[in-house]
Chains A and B, each alone.
Chain A
Amino acid sequence: MPIILAVAEQRDGALRKVSLEVLAAARQLADALGGTVDAILIGAGEITGAAELGRYGADRVLLARHPDFGMYSPDGYAATVAAAGRGATAILVAATATGRDLAPRVAARLGVGLATDVTALGVQDGKVCATRPVYGGKVLQSVVLEGAPAIASLRPNTMPATESGKAGIIVEQVVPAFVARVTVTAIKAAAVAALDVAEAPVVISGGRGLKEPAHFALLEELAAAFGNAAVGASRAVVDAGWRDHGAQVGQTGKTVSPGLYIAVGISGAIQHLAGMRTSRTIVAINRDKDAPIFKVADYGVVGDLFEIVPRLTAEVRKLRSEQ
């Protein structure tokens, strides 16, 4: 029977949300192929979330524990996933910082190709096929994965997590011997918000229209009002040194697909549009009514962002306090 292996991600012992999305994709594939889902959870010591993986669609939860897995171990994780995935029909990983590092290692060790940053998965003539944005989102590429196993990394926010109401069997997975060529020694918390633009359900991005770096405080206040928002930036302001490169949305930054994207003072260069056009709802606030950003926006407000954004922040705050 075909087995789909979903690689779950944890940090500090807690399951990351994106893992449930990967699991939902694995469940869909398994159902289409008449197979089962194994979720592998890698870590050290106590890891919470095994039961949750079962509830969200894993038939079996493989717990791979090793004293060196307190933090990400590129070589250890790769050896473990490759061993667990050998013989599987497909291996699915999240296209996160860890998943993007891990998936090519697993693919190389198993000698098969890899489709990264996939936004849709399916089955065609018994083979796994995938759609992935290329050229920073300007083009959608359809591929068939002919490798055994088929390996893909799934972009966050593209697949809703779905509870199955079942419980998976928890199995201890043996960690194979490995040579740790790379050692992760520490994780430094980011100076600002913990939410990443690639994963946040709401993204508020600013561009040159903000006039100076300090004015990003306006967007941070709006993000705080939402409570689940990350602040992004256009390439122009990142190149100018106003914001950290990790916040850049676009072809040479991050491609994002949040439920709500608010572009503030961003004209909408083609490489920025490519990086955010798959957002579910787009709002643009800009003083130039002819700015290209309004062509992709569902809702546009023309005018002075310094008047509009504080009003929006107040309204969102009010709405949130009523909820």
Chain B
Amino acid sequence: MKIAVCLKRVPDTTAKLMIASSGTSIDEAGLKFVPNPYDEYALEAALKLREAEGAGAAGETVVVSLGSDAAQETMRTALAMGIDRGIHLQSSGSVDGLEVARALAAELKAGGFDLILAGKLAVDDSNHQVAVMVAELLEIPCITAVSRLTITGTTVDAEREIEGGIEVSTCQLPAVITCDKGLNSPRLPSLKGIMAAKKKPLEVKPVTLGAGTVRVTGLALPPDRKPGRIVGEGPEAVGELVRLLRDEAKVL
């Protein structure tokens, strides 16, 4: 099976963020960047599927990332996990998911992939849309936010969490699947993998994105919450807490 995985480089989720002086982007100075956590589930799913096919089965795994040159470092992590090769779509990116999807779809269309995997969202823009749009542009099926995935021949069976339940769906390959937490436990790159990754092919292709129809006018840090108070210590404070929740906060 020929599998593509879309990967995005994002700031570490434990990082505290500041707004850049432009006012429309975050200040990247000193920030640690990581592979988007949901994309790691996609990488792991791709590797597992290939391993299940057995050594010598026709196919490959390809990581595709759109972003600045720094994305290549993140792609090397994917290669170190075991992905065969990389395609870097060199671009400063766009907040408009459809523009990113158009560039990805143009690249993926030519690749003849049986399966395209991605995280359900990137934890930076939280756009929750790019991979679905890729599927729409390629006119192939897409199941989103999948936490259980089985592929038998060309049939995909997937489960995804919905409010108060699990939605079960099916489609045929080629397809796009976006991955949620719970699908698997992504492996850490081994030392051998890290060494091997340095020699794996990573093709760089500059792309130009359209202007799009979503324009960022500003970023702001969320307003500080009003200072709270310690109601008291131990179970004796519960009476006062309940009184405050009822009479002051009016939530009881």
Instruction: With A140-B221, A271-B14 as known contacts, state yes or no: A104 contacts B168, CB within 8 Å.
Output: no
Nearest 6 A/B pairs, CB to CB: A147-B213, A108-B136, A104-B129, A181-B141, A113-B214, A97-B162
| Pairwise interchain contact A196-B163, C-beta atoms closer than 8 A | yes
Interface check A302, CB cutoff 8 A: yes
Which of A246, A248, A319 has the largest number of chain B CB atoms within 10 A? A246
CB-contacts of A263-321 with B (<8 A): 269-271, 277-278, 280-283, 289, 294-304, 307-308, 311-312, 315-316, 319
Query: In whole angstroms, how far apart are the Cα atoms of A182 and B155 in the complex?
Result: 11
Q: How many residue pairs at the A-B interface have CB separations less than 8 Å?
A: 271
- Chain B residues within an 8 Å CB radius of A194: 164-165
- Interface residue stretch chosen among B56-64, B66-74, B84-92, B222-230: B222-230
Pick the residue among A97, A143, A260, A280 that contacts B95 (CB under 8 A): A143
CB-contacts of A231-273 with B (<8 A): 238, 244-246, 248, 250-253, 259-260, 269-271
| Pairwise interchain contact A187-B168, C-beta atoms closer than 8 A | yes
Instruction: With A107-B98, A140-B222, A311-B238 as known contacts, state yes or no: A98 contacts B162, CB within 8 Å.
Output: yes
| Pairwise interchain contact A115-B214, C-beta atoms closer than 8 A | yes
Pick the residue among B168, B225, B229, B241 that contacts A184 (CB under 8 A): B168
| Pairwise interchain contact B171-A182, C-beta atoms closer than 8 A | yes
Q: Please give me the residue from chain B that is nearest to A16 by CB atom.
A: B163
- Chain B residues within an 8 Å CB radius of A238: 181
| Pairwise interchain contact B101-A108, C-beta atoms closer than 8 A | yes
Interface check A101, CB cutoff 8 A: yes
B78 to chain A, nearest CB (A): 18
Query: In whole angstroms, how far apart are the Cα atoms of A86 and B97 in the complex?
Result: 20
The contact sample of 21 A-B pairs, CB cut-off 8 A, is A108-B98, A108-B136, A114-B127, A140-B221, A141-B125, A142-B218, A143-B215, A143-B216, A147-B214, A187-B165, A188-B165, A188-B166, A250-B13, A252-B123, A277-B225, A283-B245, A299-B229, A301-B233, A301-B238, A303-B234, A311-B238
Query: In whole angstroms, how far apart are the Cα atoms of A253 and B147 in the complex?
Result: 13
Query: In whole angstroms, how far apart are the Cα atoms of A295 and B228 in the complex?
Result: 7
Q: Mark B94-125, 1 if CB is under 8 A from A, else 0.
A: 01111101000000000000000000000111
Query: In whole angstroms, how far apart are the Cα atoms of A188 and B129 in the complex?
Result: 25
Q: Please give me the residue from chain A that is nearest to B99 by CB atom.
A: A113
B35 to chain A, nearest CB (A): 12
| Pairwise interchain contact B228-A299, C-beta atoms closer than 8 A | yes
> How many residues in B have their beta carbons less than 8 Å from beta carbons of A?
85
Interface residues of A (CB under 8 A from B): 71-72, 74, 78, 95-98, 100-101, 103-105, 107-109, 111-117, 129, 132-147, 181-190, 193-196, 198-199, 202, 238, 244-246, 248, 250-253, 259-260, 269-271, 277-278, 280-283, 289, 294-304, 307-308, 311-312, 315-316, 319
Please classify the interface of chain A as helix (H, G, I), strand (E, B), loop, or mixed, using the class held by over half of its residues. mixed
| Pairwise interchain contact A138-B97, C-beta atoms closer than 8 A | no
Q: Please give me the residue from chain B that is nearest to A261 by CB atom.
A: B251
- Chain A residues within an 8 Å CB radius of B26: 135, 139
Which of B101, B181, B213 has the largest number of chain A CB atoms within 10 A? B213
- Chain A residues within an 8 Å CB radius of B252: 260, 316, 319
| Pairwise interchain contact B98-A72, C-beta atoms closer than 8 A | no
Q: Please give me the residue from chain A that is nearest to B139 by CB atom.
A: A181
- Chain A residues within an 8 Å CB radius of B77: none
- Chain A residues within an 8 Å CB radius of B101: 108
* Other contacts beyond A95-B128, A103-B129: 5, CB < 8 A: A117-B126, A141-B216, A181-B141, A196-B164, A252-B181
Query: In whole angstroms, how far apart are the Cα atoms of A126 and B150 in the complex?
Result: 48
| Pairwise interchain contact B163-A97, C-beta atoms closer than 8 A | yes
| Pairwise interchain contact A299-B125, C-beta atoms closer than 8 A | no
| Pairwise interchain contact A304-B234, C-beta atoms closer than 8 A | yes
- Chain B residues within an 8 Å CB radius of A251: 13, 123
| Pairwise interchain contact B169-A134, C-beta atoms closer than 8 A | no
A14 to chain B, nearest CB (A): 13
Query: In whole angstroms, how far apart are the Cα atoms of A202 and B228 in the complex?
Result: 19
Pick the residue among A134, A190, A271 that contacts B166 (CB under 8 A): A190
A186 to chain B, nearest CB (A): 4
A185 to chain B, nearest CB (A): 5
Pick the residue among B123, B216, B245 that contacts A299 (CB under 8 A): B245
| Pairwise interchain contact B129-A198, C-beta atoms closer than 8 A | no
